Chains A and B, each alone.
Chain A
């Protein structure tokens, strides 16, 4: 809300930042003991103080970072288990558990719970991702204790009432159906399934109609009981708070949460796709097709990571990338195109994301692949390299400007086990990616001949074109996500 202008009904770009960033989830963490103020001296001097770190007796890690300029407090709690920990055949369990947390606690029915949150103008929400589940909220500084009270109640005492379980499951199923109408979301989910196959990262986070139908209340309770434990969780608090006071409140509100032993989930590496395989998700009425193609990428800790991010920015980050120039600016084939390096706890991915009218789908893919080929071949003009490095480094302070972005960054430093001073080292890491390292990473890591390709569009008019790229599997939208790995080998 707040100045509710119905806007961006046509803005110049859709994915600019996401595209630019590649690093959608960079982060920050603990040590450097002496907190330094943010230096107002150009980005060269960009510094974020280390968050104050406390580990409660029950194992909950609490990270507090003061950002005093706005009278708001951001809470963000991460439980390090997400959809990759869903039981097989019960995909969507982590996501359903996250939704159920909002349906009331042992002492507060859902209606009352949100009356209390919203009466003070606060917000609380939850969601699951592949590697972790999150509960977050935002409250006015003055209501910080209310925020602690409500968030801790939601995380520690969810009611899981049988009738609420059934109701929420019906809603989750309805949302899955609803999402089938969004071609971009279908493409993104289908791409994960097509790329990762039977690997846990191939599962749609929200599950499928079939898998969610199969989830029982006891599945949800069991997931909650075994994964939502303090020694598997981190609470970040960022905003207008006094760090010692916030840490004391965290102690007060979260110390009753019981530690439990848990087997650390090991997520295996995913096998890259060999050769090219095309999934065509049939949407007969579409006048434009969504396009994704790529392959397995790198882990965050891989030495190739920063050089690859820089190379990827030359290729498909921001508004002046090769992909934008060749596909959008010169040929008008799309409104938005980007390539991304996405990292997860285990194997991440690297992929190009775009869309075009049906008649130019093949041309779009071919022109994009030409750019990949060029970068793999080592054609890297020094000015493009410089621009990419400056762009990433200069943009970084803006990417962690808001308390919620900063809180998310702090948590991902923890989740990915990055160097503790990651946030303050980021610009240096980007700037020190040399030409040779970038060329080397591009040649080794940018996928070209081995590709998972997903197109969501009308099979009747684009199938023939796509067959020139590799064997094509056609599926209706409704079953696009079912068992990417178990797909029959490419019916022509």
Chain B
């Protein structure tokens, strides 16, 4: 795609950012989709802005696909994917990539596991070979598993055990879900990490790391015909696998508020609410995303303005409407200012959320939320890596990357009553879990 064509597409987005009523808005990239015979999906997008490209591999597997007693295997396995194959020994993947000036990393969520590399253009054939090779045959040894298990335990200590907010999230999700696998942390329980065996890893790999469960996305400076040729050759012989049945959507409806306390050696109390909301594929997503912006995105959002600046109850407020494959959570989190009791903070949060369900947002406030959503979507597409990640996420949550091109219209269609109704329907006390962080003395001095 030429540069001028890309600019034209962007101009369409711009028109949407004009203040008043939004005209039709559009994001469009010339993404070329392919599918190999073994089911591997490939999305290719040329962009010659920088002499480099990003290569993403999305596997549709995450902690959602795990079982009790083996939690954390998705994430531990993500680490194992860097520990060598039959063809390339441990560490070779990173060494080869870094010696060409590339970087690689990966992340695991409840729903997906994503591997990515960014590297100079001339390195693409090597990356295709390395990625295909580890999809074809990973070598999991007792030794590499033992060492990686220790690394992951350090990661858990870092992000959860020694991090107040991390601990709070674990308790919040663990309390909000009774049945669904979203109840356990992505990083897994410490004891489960100890229990995972080489055999578990091999079985996990066979079932979930099949080409028919993966999407490869490349964005940047490459020639599509050549790239697809390399990909077909490198991945073509990897056999498809019968997929594992997806987890059952077994979470019962919540029939009343749930509460939990987290006692920690912390400086300040904090409060979090989690409300059950539908899966990302639901039509409610758009109203809830805009509600998230109205409540908590930016200095002029309701909770930041009122709780942080006007009432001075909180140091920090965060609101998240989480996108998930299965029914998800809408989370409101606030940290108390020194001297503020968690009860006062909770009451103020509740009052604002209650108001959102009783009163329509103003026309200008709604328009602001739509404008914020539009620019944030554009901003997420600034780099090759950003584009690749967004394409993959849309593929994951909406079944097709092309939803990225129409999504802004869905936000545009949301009305003020729509936002109010979504708040009234989902952000109810009977549908929420409240977790309060209570400071506990620990040898250091406690604060009032």
Contact = CB atoms under 8 A, between A and B. Distances in A.
Contact of A402 (B52, B110, B368, B382): B382
Nearest to A2: B380
Contact of B108 (A10, A72, A288, A397): A10
Contact of A394 (B120, B289, B308): B120
B420 interface: no
A251 interface: no
A20 B119 CA distance: 14
A42 B298 contact: no
B300 A118 contact: yes
Interface in A145-165: none
Interface residues of B, number: 121
Contacts of A8: 107, 109
A394 B99 CA distance: 9
B230 to A, nearest CB: 17
Contact of A142 (B17, B299, B305, B335): B17
A43 B101 contact: yes
Contacts of B397: 3
Given A403-B382, A477-B444, A3 B323 contact: yes
Interface string A305-344: 0000000000000111000010011111111100000000
Interface stretch (B126-134, B250-258, B261-269, B424-432): B261-269
B444 A476 contact: yes
A121 B17 contact: yes
Nearest to A123: B298
Interface residues on A, range: 35 or more
A38 B149 CA distance: 44
Given A40-B221, A328-B151, 17 more contacts: A2-B390, A4-B322, A9-B159, A10-B107, A11-B107, A12-B107, A13-B105, A69-B49, A71-B11, A114-B300, A138-B379, A140-B17, A177-B447, A319-B94, A334-B154, A391-B101, A394-B100
Contacts, number: 312
Contact of B105 (A12, A182, A285, A330): A12
Given A17-B103, A72-B379, A391-B98, A39 B51 contact: yes
B333 to A, nearest CB: 11
Closest 10 CB pairs of A and B: A394-B101, A332-B150, A121-B375, A11-B107, A2-B380, A40-B48, A121-B371, A288-B157, A114-B299, A114-B300
Contacts of B368: 115, 118-119, 121
Interface in A1-52: 1-14, 16-17, 20, 38-43, 45-46
A288 B101 contact: no
- Count chain A CB atoms within 10 A of each CB in B14, B169, B447 and give the residue with the most: B14
Given A9-B108, A177-B447, A332-B148, A318 B103 contact: yes
A2 B51 contact: no
B164 A284 contact: no
A143 interface: yes
Contacts of A46: 50-51
Given A43-B120, A394-B101, A401-B384, A110 B309 contact: yes
A1 B297 contact: yes
Interface string B80-107: 0010000000110011001111111111
Interface string A380-400: 000100110011111111100
B161 interface: yes
A49 B110 CA distance: 43
Contact of A355 (B18, B49, B154): B154
Interface of A: 1-14, 16-17, 20, 38-43, 45-46, 67-72, 102, 110-111, 114-115, 117-123, 138, 140-143, 167, 170-171, 173-175, 177-178, 180-183, 240, 282-288, 318-320, 325, 328-336, 355-357, 383, 386-387, 390-398, 401-403, 476-478
Contacts of B47: 69
B78 interface: yes
Interface string B108-131: 111100000011111100000000
B350 interface: no
B415 interface: no
A174 B337 contact: yes
Contacts of B380: 2-3
Contacts of B376: 1-2, 121
A477 B445 CA distance: 9
Interface of B: 3, 6-7, 10-11, 13-14, 17-19, 47-52, 75, 78-79, 82, 90-91, 94-95, 98-111, 118-123, 146-159, 161-164, 169, 185-187, 221, 264-268, 289, 292-293, 297-301, 305, 308-309, 312, 315-316, 320-324, 335, 337-338, 364, 367-368, 371-384, 389-390, 393-394, 397, 442-445, 447
B447 A118 contact: no
Contacts of A240: 10
A284 B149 CA distance: 25
B161 A141 contact: no
A397 B298 contact: no
A70 B10 contact: yes
B134 to A, nearest CB: 13
24 contacts: A4-B292, A9-B187, A10-B152, A12-B82, A38-B50, A41-B121, A43-B52, A69-B7, A110-B309, A114-B299, A119-B364, A177-B447, A181-B267, A287-B157, A288-B162, A319-B94, A320-B94, A334-B151, A390-B100, A391-B98, A391-B102, A397-B120, A476-B444, A477-B444
A451 to B, nearest CB: 23
Contact of A11 (B106, B367, B372): B106
Contact of B289 (A4, A17, A319): A4
A323 to B, nearest CB: 14
Contacts of B123: 394
B98 A335 contact: no
B293 A1 contact: yes
Nearest to A103: B309
Contacts of A386: 99
B375 A167 contact: no
Contact of A335 (B102, B158, B383): B158
A320 B82 contact: no
B140 to A, nearest CB: 15
- Count chain B CB atoms within 10 A of each CB in A46, A121, A143, A287 and give the residue with the most: A121
A491 B268 CA distance: 31
A319 B384 contact: no
Nearest to B393: A3
- Count chain A CB atoms within 10 A of each CB in B10, B120, B169 and give the residue with the most: B120
